[in-house]
C-alpha cells in the first residue's frame, strides 16, 4: 500500500495543478516500477471533485481513491484535519474487500500520519518518505517573511512529524541533507533512516541529435539563448530570484531571455503570478520573459532539451527532480545551495550551483555554459551520464524494495 493524499494523483497526473508536482511523479513512477517487478500495488489517495474511484494502470497497479473531506479541493497544509475520516474509510474498504498488504509506504507528512494509524491497525510495517521537512521549510519561509501570511501551520506540522518519525518503522529520505536535518532537528538516530534519491524515466528523458534539437526549438519557439524554468506557482520556487538575475545576465548575454512555465490554476496561484509579472515590469525585464504556464506532459522532455540552460532557482527544494530530468536530456543545469541535489553533483562537471539569495551570482552561473562552449559540452555529456547512472527508476525501485523486504513479517507474531 502506497499513500499519497494531496493533489491530483492519477496514472497520468495533471502536473501544475494545485499541490501536484514532483511528489506525484515520484510516487507514480515508483509504483509503476514495483508493478513491473511483479508486486501488486495500490496507491491510495483522496477522491474529490468528479474523479473516479479507481484508475486501473495495469494488472498489478491501481490508483484507489478514498472519499473524505467533501468534494472540494483541500490544500496539503490542511489535509491532516481530515486524516481520521480517511483512516476510517480506508480501513472499512480494505476489510470489505478482504485485502491484505505486506507494507505501508506513505509520502509526505499528511499521508504519514494516516499511514501510521493504518499500519498499526493492520499490524504491518510502515515505511515513510517525508519529501520535505516542516523544520526546513519553516526556516526558509521565515527568512522570506511569509510563514504566518501563508498559514503553513508549521508548529503543528513539526510536532506531528516528530511523533511520526518515532512511530514508523523506517524513513526513506531523498538526500543526505534530509538525513542530517532529521537527526539534528528531530533528534532521530541515523540508523532509523536510509537515503534513496528520486529517479527519472531514463527512456523518456534523453538527449537528441543537433537536427532534432533545431526542429524542437523551432516548434517551441525557443533558442540557444533561452533560460528555462518550470514548476508550480509557489514562493519557495525562487521565481523572483531568476527575475532579479535576468538584468545581470543580460549584461553578459544581450540576447538572453527567460522562458518561465509556472503552473497557475487556483486564485492564489494566479495572484502569485501577477506579483512576479509586476516585479518583472518594475525591473524593466517584462518583455524578456516568455510566460508559458502549464506544459503538456507530451512536451515535457522537449522543453528540457530546447533551452541553453535549465535553471532550478528554488530557495527550498527537498530534491529537485526537474533538474535531474533536464540533465538527463543533456541540458546544462544551474541549481541552488538550498536543494537536496546540490550535494550529490560535482560542480563544473555535472552541474553548476549558486546561492539563491545572490541574484548576481546566479546570473554568473547561468552565463557560464552560454559563454564557454567547452563547459556547455562538458555539462551536457557528464550531466546526462550522472543523471542516468544515478537516478534510473528501476534501480531506485529495487533499492526501495530491499527496505520493504527487510521489514516484511515483522509483526506476524503479534496477530
Output 414 or 97, whichever has higher pLDDT: 97
* Average pLDDT of the segment spanning 370-385: 97
Is the per-residue pLDDT at 150 higher than 60? no
* Average pLDDT of the segment spanning 137-162: 69
Confidence (pLDDT) at 147: 45
Length of the chain equals 415
Is the per-residue pLDDT at 387 higher than 70? yes
CA-CA distance, 382 to 405, in Å (whole number)? Answer: 34
Q: What's the angle, vertex CA 259, arms to CA 258 and CA 263, rounded to 5?
A: 130
Query: Which pLDDT band holds residue 149 (cuts at 50, 70, 90)?
Result: very low
Confidence (pLDDT) at 396: 92
Q: Which three cell numbers stand for residue 298?
A: 507530451
CA-CA distance, 321 to 341, in Å (whole number)? Answer: 8
Beta-bridge partner residues of 257: 226
Contact predicate 228/259, CB 8 Å: yes
* Average pLDDT of the segment spanning 348-372: 96
Q: Mean pLDDT lowest for which of 11-20, 127-136, 367-376?
A: 11-20
pLDDT tens, position by position, 24-40: 989 999 999 999 999 99
Confidence (pLDDT) at 265: 67
Which class in CATH covers the domain with range 210-391?
alpha beta
Which class in CATH covers the domain with range 2-199+394-414?
alpha beta
* Average pLDDT of the segment spanning 51-77: 94
Average pLDDT taken over every residue of the chain: 90
Is the per-residue pLDDT at 414 higher than 70? no
Confidence (pLDDT) at 245: 97
CA-CA distance, 296 to 218, in Å (whole number)? Answer: 17
Is the per-residue pLDDT at 385 higher than 60? yes
Is the per-residue pLDDT at 203 higher than 50? yes
* Average pLDDT of the segment spanning 346-364: 95
Identical topology for domains 2-199+394-414 and 210-391: yes
pLDDT tens, position by position, 224-271: 999 999 988 888 889 999 999 999 999 999 999 999 998 766 777 888
* Average pLDDT of the segment spanning 378-395: 92
* Average pLDDT of the segment spanning 347-373: 96
pLDDT tens, position by position, 100-115: 999 999 999 999 999 9
Domains of the chain, by residue range, sit at 2-199+394-414, 210-391
Confidence (pLDDT) at 50: 93
Which range, 179-183, 368-372, 408-412, is most confident? 368-372
Assign 3-class secondary structure to the chain.
CEECCCCCCCCCCCCCCCCCCHHHHHHHHHHHHHHHCCCCEEEEEEECCCCCCEEEEECCEEEEEEECCCCCCCCHHHHHHHHHHHHHHHHHHHHHCCCCCCCEEEEHHHHHHHHHHHHHHHCCCEEEECCCCHHHHHHHHHHCCCHHHHCCCHHHHHHHHHHHHHHCCEEEECCHHHHHHHHHHCCCCHHHEEECCCCECCCCCCCCCHHHHHHHHHHHCCCCCEEEEEEECCHHHCHHHHHHHHHHHHHHCCCCEEEEEEECCCHHHHHHHHHHHHHHHHCCCHHHEEECCCCCHHHHHHHHHCCCEEECCCCCECCCHHHHHHHHCCCCEEEECCECCCCCCCECCCEEEECCCCHHHHHHHHHHHHHCHHHHHHHHHHHHHHHHHHHEHHHHHHHHHHHHHHHCCCCHHHC
Confidence (pLDDT) at 140: 63
Query: Which pLDDT band holds residue 412 (cuts at 50, 70, 90)?
Result: low
CA-CA distance, 361 to 206, in Å (whole number)? Answer: 29
Amino acid at each position: 500500500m502506497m499513500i499519497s493524499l494531496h493533489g491530483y494523483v492519477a496514472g497520468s497526473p495533471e502536473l501544475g495543478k494545485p499541490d501536484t508536482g514532483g511528489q506525484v511523479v515520484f510516487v507514480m513512477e515508483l509504483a509503476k516500477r514495483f508493478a513491473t517487478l511483479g508486486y501488486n500495488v495500490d496507491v491510495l489517495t483522496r477522491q474529490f471533485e468528479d474523479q473516479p474511484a479507481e484508475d486501473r494502470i495495469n494488472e498489478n497497479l491501481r490508483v484507489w481513491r478514498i472519499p473524505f473531506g467533501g468534494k472540494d479541493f483541500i490544500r496539503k497544509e490542511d489535509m491532516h484535519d481530515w486524516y481520521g475520516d480517511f483512516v476510517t474509510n480506508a480501513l472499512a474498504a480494505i476489510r470489505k474487500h478482504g485485502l491484505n498488504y505486506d507494507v505501508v509506504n506513505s509520502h509526505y507528512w499528511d499521508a504519514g500520519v494516516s499511514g501510521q494509524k493504518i499500519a498499526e491497525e493492520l499490524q504491518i510495517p510502515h515505511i515513510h518518505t517525508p519529501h520535505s521537512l516542516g523544520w526546513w521549510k519553516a526556516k526558509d519561509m521565515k527568512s522570506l517573511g511569509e510563514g504566518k501570511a501563508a498559514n503553513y501551520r508549521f508548529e503543528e506540522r513539526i510536532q506531528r512529524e516528530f511523533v511520526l518519525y518515532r512511530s514508523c518503522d523506517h524513513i526513506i529520505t531523498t538526500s543526505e541533507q534530509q538525513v542530517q536535518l532529521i537527526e539534528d532537528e528531530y533528534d532521530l538516530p541515523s540508523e532509523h533512516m536510509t537515503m534513496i534519491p528520486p529517479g527519472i524515466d531514463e527512456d523518456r528523458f534523453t538527449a537528441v541529435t543537433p537536427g532534432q534539437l533545431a526542429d524542437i526549438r523551432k516548434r517551441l519557439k525557443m533558442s540557444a539563448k533561452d533560460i528555462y524554468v518550470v514548476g508550480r506557482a509557489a514562493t519557495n520556487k525562487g521565481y523572483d530570484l531568476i527575475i532579479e538575475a535576468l538584468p545581470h545576465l543580460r549584461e553578459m548575454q544581450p540576447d538572453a531571455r527567460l522562458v518561465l512555465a509556472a503552473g497557475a490554476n487556483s486564485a492564489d496561484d494566479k495572484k502569485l503570478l501577477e506579483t512576479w509579472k509586476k516585479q518583472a515590469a518594475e525591473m524593466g525585464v517584462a518583455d524578456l520573459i516568455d510566460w508559458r504556464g502549464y506544459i503538456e506532459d507530451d512536451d515535457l522532455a522537449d522543453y528540457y532539451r530546447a533551452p541553453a540552460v535549465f535553471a532550478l532557482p528554488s530557495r527550498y527544494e527537498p530534491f529537485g527532480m526537474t533538474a535531474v530530468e533536464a540533465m538527463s536530456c543533456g541540458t546544462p543545469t544551474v541549481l541552488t545551495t538550498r536543494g537536496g541535489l546540490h550535494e550529490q553533483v560535482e560542480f563544473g562537471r555535472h552541474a553548476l550551483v549558486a546561492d539563491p539569495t545572490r541574484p548576481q551570482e546566479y546570473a554568473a552561473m547561468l552565463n557560464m555554459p552560454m559563454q564557454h562552449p567547452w563547459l556547455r559540452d562538458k555539462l551536457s555529456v557528464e550531466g546526462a551520464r550522472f543523471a542516468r547512472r544515478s537516478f534510473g527508476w528501476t534501480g531506485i525501485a529495487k533499492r526501495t524494495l530491499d527496505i520493504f523486504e527487510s521489514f516484511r513479517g515483522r509483526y506476524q507474531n503479534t496477530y
